[in-house]
């Protein structure tokens, strides 16, 4: 999987160099390239935003630098081009599988009031939101989507760890415990230390169902 991220704030992407995604990048399982849109500004002051036509508060990202950056990074339109936008389709676990079917993603991050509409009309395949709230920029959404997609790339996380996770079969995951067996008076359920794998599986399934009912009853309607 190759992911190109286009942003005015490349420094914000340091978190993707850490932990599991950082290791996946280092080992070459995923390729993440962050491109600074400002490098594609033709303005002598590298300006990338301007006032909005029609009046109103806030600045809009100008089309030229963004269009130049997209054309430079993805000249043959081989990437699925996605604009991070609160107006877009809400990203969910279902979309992870869809995005994994592409070899290459281009995630475009807006900032300020957003990006000139002509960029979306000319270059973008779809708009995607990470939830019904407005953030200051598309950088966190791009990191959220990158993380959620990359953990499913072969070899990034063991297949076993991805089994029975929350959202599998429209259930949330069962409770997890580790050592010590007793913490502040609370004990690990006996079944988990019984060594009886069939009973452990049964307990986990039943706890998943109970927790889903309690925390996410909406999933059971799906």
Judge whether 144 and 131 are in contact, CB under 8 Å: no
Cα–Cα distance between 110 and 146 in angstroms, integer? 16
Nearest to 110 by CA among 17, 37, 39: 37
The count of chain residues that interact with ligand SAM, using the rule CB under 6 A, is 20
3-state secondary structure of 141: helix
Q: Does 65 bind ligand SAM (CB under 6 A)?
A: no
Which one of the spans 1-9, 14-22, 33-41, 81-89 is the region binding ligand SAM (CB under 6 A)?
81-89
Q: Residue 84 CB, nearest distance to ligand SAM (Å)? A: 4
For ligand SAM, the closer of residues 131 and 155 by Cβ is 131
Which of 52, 137, 148, 204 forms a contact with ligand SAM (CB under 6 A)?
A: 137
Element (H, E) at 143: helix 139-150
Task: Check binding of 136 to ligand SAM (CB under 6 A).
Answer: yes
CB 107 within 8 A of CB 145: yes
Give the binding range for ligand SAM (CB under 6 A) out of 43-51, 104-112, 152-160, 213-221.
104-112
- When the beta carbons of 88 and 175 are compared against ligand SAM, the nearer one is 88
63 counts as binding ligand SAM under rule CB under 6 A: no
User: Which of 109, 143, 150, 172 lies at the binding interface for ligand SAM (CB under 6 A)?
Assistant: 109
Report yes or no: 87 and 81 within 8 Å, Cβ to Cβ. Answer: no
Q: Is the peptide bond before 45 cis (omega within 30 degrees of 0)?
A: no
130 binds ligand SAM (CB under 6 A): yes
The nearest distance, CB 13 to ligand SAM, in angstroms, is: 14
Q: Which letter does DSSP use for residue 76 in this model?
A: T
Q: Nearest residue to ligand SAM, using CB?
A: 110
Give the DSSP letter of residue 152: T
85 binds ligand SAM (CB under 6 A): yes
| Nearest Cα to Cα of residue 140 among 149, 126, 129, 150 | 129
Phi and psi at residue 9, to the nearest 5°: -130, 65
Which residues of the shown chain bind ligand SAM in the complex (CB under 6 A)? 84-87, 109-111, 113-115, 129-131, 133-138, 141
């Amino acid at each position: 999987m190759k992911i190109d991220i286009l942003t005015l704030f490349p420094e914000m992407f340091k978190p993707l160099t850490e932990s599991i995604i950082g290791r996946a990048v280092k080992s070459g399982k995923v390729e993440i390239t962050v491109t600074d849109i400002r490098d594609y500004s033709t303005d002598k002051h590298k300006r990338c935003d301007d006032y909005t036509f029609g009046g109103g508060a806030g600045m809009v990202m100008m089309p030229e630098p963004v269009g130049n950056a997209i054309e430079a990074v993805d000249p043959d339109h081989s990437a699925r081009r996605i604009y991070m936008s609160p107006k877009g389709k809400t990203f969910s676990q279902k979309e992870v599988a869809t995005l994994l079917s592409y070899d290459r993603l281009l995630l475009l991050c807006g900032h300020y009031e957003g990006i000139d509409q002509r960029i979306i009309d000319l270059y973008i395949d779809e708009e995607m939101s990470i939830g019904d709230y407005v953030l200051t920029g598309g950088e966190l959404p791009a990191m959220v989507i990158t993380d959620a997609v990359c953990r499913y790339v072969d070899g990034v996380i063991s297949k076993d760890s991805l089994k029975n996770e929350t959202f599998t079969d429209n259930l949330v995951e069962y409770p997890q415990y580790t050592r010590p067996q007793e913490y502040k008076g609370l004990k690990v359920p006996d079944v988990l230390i019984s060594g009886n794998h069939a009973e452990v599986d049964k307990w986990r399934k039943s706890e998943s169902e109970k927790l889903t009912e309690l925390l996410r009853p909406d999933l059971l309607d799906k």
